[in-house]
Structure 1
Amino acid sequence: MNQSPLQKARYQYSPKLPGMLRNGISEICVKEGNATQSVADQEKIAALFPNTYGEKEITFEKGENTSAAKKQVVGVILSGGQAPGGHNVICGLYDALKATSKENVLYGFKNGPIGLLEDNYVEFDDAYIDAYRNTGGFDIIGSGRTKLETEEQFAVAAKVCEKHGITAIVIIGGDDSNTNAAVLAEYFAAHNTGVQVIGCPKTIDGDLKNEDIECSFGFDTATKTYSELIGNIERDANSAKKYWHFVKVMGRSASHVALECALETQPNICLISEEVAAKKQSLSEIADYIADAVEKRSANGNNFGVAIIPEGVVEFVPEFKVLIAEINELLAGNKTEEFNALGSWEEKYAFIEKGLTAESMAVFAILPQTIQQQLFLERDPHGNVQVSLIESEKLFSALVKDKLTERGFTGKFNALHHFFGYEGRCAFPSNFDADYCYSLGYNAFMLIQYGYNGYLSKVSNLSKPAEEWVAGGMPITKMMNIERRNGEDKPVIKKALVELDGKPFKFFEANRDTWAVETAYTYPGAIQYYGPTEVCDLTTRTLALEKGE
């Protein structure tokens, strides 16, 4: 296979481990902390997890390894969307497992959790692992979005584990995947299977985060990749001086990616979904806010700019949420067929006008026709509007154009549109993500060796050099609360949204009025893998601000 020079060089990179994990497996001991409780709904969560709730947080320290010696047969699963560094979690897990005993075995279940249910796996060896060290993507075994949540599935998983003599399963995923890991761990404990379950925190969206999980893996690489592209666009905008670029970035539920990219590149506009919801902003108000910046910049002779739009922002606009709910109701049952049978858009528009309240129709009417039609095109399996298909970057540029026309704007406004999503999910991991992920995998094996179940592999103090990172684990139940999902109360890991009183947002808020009018762009450039530490091992601006650095 042909390989680029960078590929070859990255295979040789030795990821940095936290200090206490560098001592050698035989010199790592456990320090137990306090017992834990869930973030909310303590009684309900405790009742649902009687065998795994309330366990203690732990950290690893230098000292004599007191774990019982036994052969470990571990299965690993990649779950959900790709995030840079996933391969290194598996490499770290493999290296720790083999450093303990050559007899230990690591199976990779293919294509996500379905691989465990279908007993579809590969057994890793040195050659297989070495081909994926420090690389992006999840192609080492593939990923999938099958949820492990039913008793039938758990019973099948237990049988597969018994067949192979599996002692532990490591699930690498986001909040939903780690919720599944916690439920599976509880089932295995309740049925005395002897199989442990360990989770690893993954998501480029950055919403698997709390006082214990400072950063989910992949966020660093993805935001650096998007920020390089946004910086390039800013440089182009400042060179051509004739386009407003509307850039949509990943983030359905939270705006961590948008905020981090704004902190790295200082664009003229960045919308934060959580602020839109908190201030109950309307589409018209948001469009006015952007149009104000366009007018002020134009008055200074700058008919160009850059606006960052989070992928899911429209779902946070209160009036838009109401509109979506009404459309879902309008097309419930067999109404979809009745709607689709109408021939022209004029007939369909009249049908919509008759079915919506005056308030929602007023919102619908200001949408560009292309967006109106998108709302009535494809439904999800439950018959609901697929909000993720809405091209919000085009929606806002069209609304801004209408606002400017209403105002009698005489300057120039030419919009270009971009969506950065897949470009960042499988990038070559930054040194930070390569080191962090390898540490998470290595650390996951230590949790297995010491017999922990239903724990999340945890590495903290991440804004410091890797030598000072702290490795350990926490019960997954600590992050859980009860939420309404599909009409049922379910235990789930609480999503972390952008905190409007947090230091990263406050810094952005203090500077954005200046950035809106002035051309204050910063150009982060490409991720650097070799060179000065202050350039190559740079942490995210979000993490640096949170830690006061």
Structure 2
Amino acid sequence: MGSMSELLTIFGDTDMAESAAPGRLGIIVGGGPAPGINGVISAVTIEAINQGFEVYGFRDGFKYLVQGSTEHYRKLSIPDVSINQLRGGSMLGTSRTNPAKNEADMAKVLETLTKLGITDLVTIGGDDTAFSASQVYKRNNRKIRVAHVPKTIDNDLPLPAGTPTFGYETARHYGVGIVRSLHEDAKTTGRWYLIVSMGRAAGHLALGIGKAAAATITVIPEEYRDKEVTLESVADLIIGSMIKRQVQGKGYGVAVLAEGLLESIGEKGLLSALGEEKLSRYGHLERDPHGHLRLGEIEFGRMVKDYLTQRLGQLGIKTTVMDKDLGYELRCADPIPFDNEYTRDLGYGAAKFLRSPQAAEFGAVISMVGGRLVPRPFEEMINPATSRMRTRKVDVDAETYEVARRYMIRLEANDFSDPSKLAQLAAFAKLTPEQFRDRFAYLVS
């Protein structure tokens, strides 16, 4: 992939002079919801109509297109989209139908789009939708110009550094409000809350919420670097935070966990810690055709709470722990001003790209860098081996993560090197300093 400066030279320093004659533009939304979808739909529609296009919105992603249906779509007007542009959800619905997994389905999509006279296509979604969009462009001999607007509240798509995926900032905003309320409840009632945040591939949302809400501790998979992630270590990180808080005279707190910790622990780690019978208490254990457990059905928060309570009991520590999953409350929230502005930029950028000469040369993922439109070719964004975009992980070497860690309450190396601190912590856990070191020092090694 070219450097960012090269991309800005190619795209950012040109006016992307319009060349394509207006035709029929289709809009498809795929994957899970994210705040700001309607903002993109609105901006694309308004700009495209102003440029002479007819605009059509397809209902529920590729769901009906793979059936060859020419009924589940509607012609969009500026009044149609203007009333929805600041609202959450998706006026076109969405689905996870992935036509790229099946040759017959993709053929039906191309046949239907051609039958309807679609000349340009804007897709809004994550990995699967991006790959499907790239295949529409590739397999139709480039007769349909394609722009993809990336979306996910997880913020884990490989956009330029510092550029969020739309919806993330809104999800973080409302997530912070929920965590702050739970923190007040924890303070009032003297309990701990375990909050599991969406984000299976990366810890951006968990860290963003935890940091901005001043959570007591936030745990993400990336902090483990090349070490094994275990249920034991996750529980002990939280226990260490609890003990340290108690020594400070505060018997309450909030721990935010990224749901990706479950994937990082994995089937082997879960079975090692719990055994299959106990693991089955946290969801219906299904296996894929290769015999691997489907981890998505497991109640991770409840599992950590129970495991944590058990380990606290072994230390003679009594405290009330409550668990809560956080994610679905955030996906269809009305976007905050940041995402209202950002999605208008992205939608306008998608429409502008489709009118440019570059759209005849490649299909693109739309991004904005420093206020400039940077369309990034599908070939540079999607790994052909995996059919997915690379995952953007939290950079745990950056100062932004360093700041987050500095203001968490968790066991640190100096808690073990300072004899007075070690003695206080050990006394609360009813252990000798040597026993406390043997029990918890591995967390900071």
Task: Give the TM-score taking structure 2 as reference length.
Answer: 0.83
In structure 2, the CA distance between the partners of 1:378 and 1:514, relative to structure 1 (3 Å rule), is closer
Provide the residue aligned with 1:495 in structure 2: 391
Residues 236-315 of structure 1 correspond to what in structure 2 (within 5 A)?
A: 236-240=185-189, 242-276=190-224, 278-315=226-263
**Percent sequence identity over aligned pairs:** 27
Q: CA deviation at 1:514?
A: 6.7
Residues 210-225 of structure 1 correspond to what in structure 2 (within 5 A)?
A: 210-211=159-160, 214-225=163-174
CA–CA distance in structure 2, aligned partners of residues 288 and 180 of structure 1: 42
Correspondence for 1:158 among 89, 93, 110: 110
Correspondence for 1:507 among 388, 394, 403: 403
Provide the residue aligned with 1:459 in structure 2: 368
Provide the residue aligned with 1:196 in structure 2: 145
Kindly provide the amino acid, as one letter, of the partner of residue 268 in structure 2. Answer: V
Provide the residue aligned with 2:79 in structure 1: 127
Question: Is 1:479 matched up with 2:381?
Answer: yes
CA–CA distance in structure 2, aligned partners of residues 323 and 237 of structure 1: 30
In structure 2, the CA distance between the partners of 1:112 and 1:81, relative to structure 1 (3 Å rule), is same
5+ residue gaps, structure 2: 413-445
Provide the residue aligned with 1:321 in structure 2: 267
Runs of 4+ in 1 over 6 A off after TM superposition: 54-57
CA–CA distance in structure 1, aligned partners of residues 363 and 242 of structure 2: 51
**Matched-pair contact (CA < 8 Å) for 1:217–1:436:** yes
When the two chains are superposed, the root-mean-square deviation of aligned CA atoms in Å is 2.8
Cα shift readout 1:413-454 (whole Å, capped 9, x = no counterpart):
001121111110000001111111111111111111114131
Correspondence for 2:65 among 112, 116, 135: 116
Q: CA deviation at 1:389?
A: 2.4
Q: CA deviation at 1:478?
A: 1.3
Question: Is 1:148 matched up with 2:108?
Answer: no
Greater displacement, 213-222 / 249-258? 213-222
Provide the residue aligned with 2:353 in structure 1: 447
Kindly provide the amino acid, as one letter, of the partner of residue 145 in structure 1. Answer: R
CA–CA distance in structure 2, aligned partners of residues 213 and 499 of structure 1: 11
Question: Is 1:92 matched up with 2:43?
Answer: yes
In structure 2, the CA distance between the partners of 1:515 and 1:405, relative to structure 1 (3 Å rule), is closer
Task: Give the TM-score taking structure 1 as reference length.
Answer: 0.68
Q: CA deviation at 1:114?
A: 2.1
5+ residue gaps, structure 1: 1-35, 40-53, 325-359, 462-468, 483-488, 517-549
CA–CA distance in structure 2, aligned partners of residues 298 and 255 of structure 1: 27
Q: CA deviation at 1:132?
A: 0.9
SS of the residue corresponding to residue 178 of structure 1 reads helix
Cα shift readout 1:266-305 (whole Å, capped 9, x = no counterpart):
2112111122463214222222221122122223332211
Provide the residue aligned with 2:342 in structure 1: 436
Correspondence for 1:70 among 21, 26, 43: 21
Provide the residue aligned with 1:328 in structure 2: none
Residues 267-416 of structure 1 correspond to what in structure 2 (within 5 A)?
A: 267-276=215-224, 278-317=226-265, 320-323=266-269, 360-361=271-272, 363-365=273-275, 369=278, 371-374=279-282, 377-379=285-287, 384-409=292-317, 412-416=318-322
Provide the residue aligned with 1:529 in structure 2: none
Q: CA deviation at 1:61?
A: 5.8
In structure 2, the CA distance between the partners of 1:55 and 1:155, relative to structure 1 (3 Å rule), is farther
**Matched-pair contact (CA < 8 Å) for 1:246–1:397:** yes
SS of the residue corresponding to residue 86 of structure 2 reads coil
**Matched-pair contact (CA < 8 Å) for 1:255–1:274:** yes
Q: CA deviation at 1:62?
A: 7.9
**Matched-pair contact (CA < 8 Å) for 1:74–1:167:** yes
Cα shift readout 1:384-422 (whole Å, capped 9, x = no counterpart):
42312222222222222222222233xx40011211111
Q: CA deviation at 1:179?
A: 2.0
Q: How many residues align?
A: 404
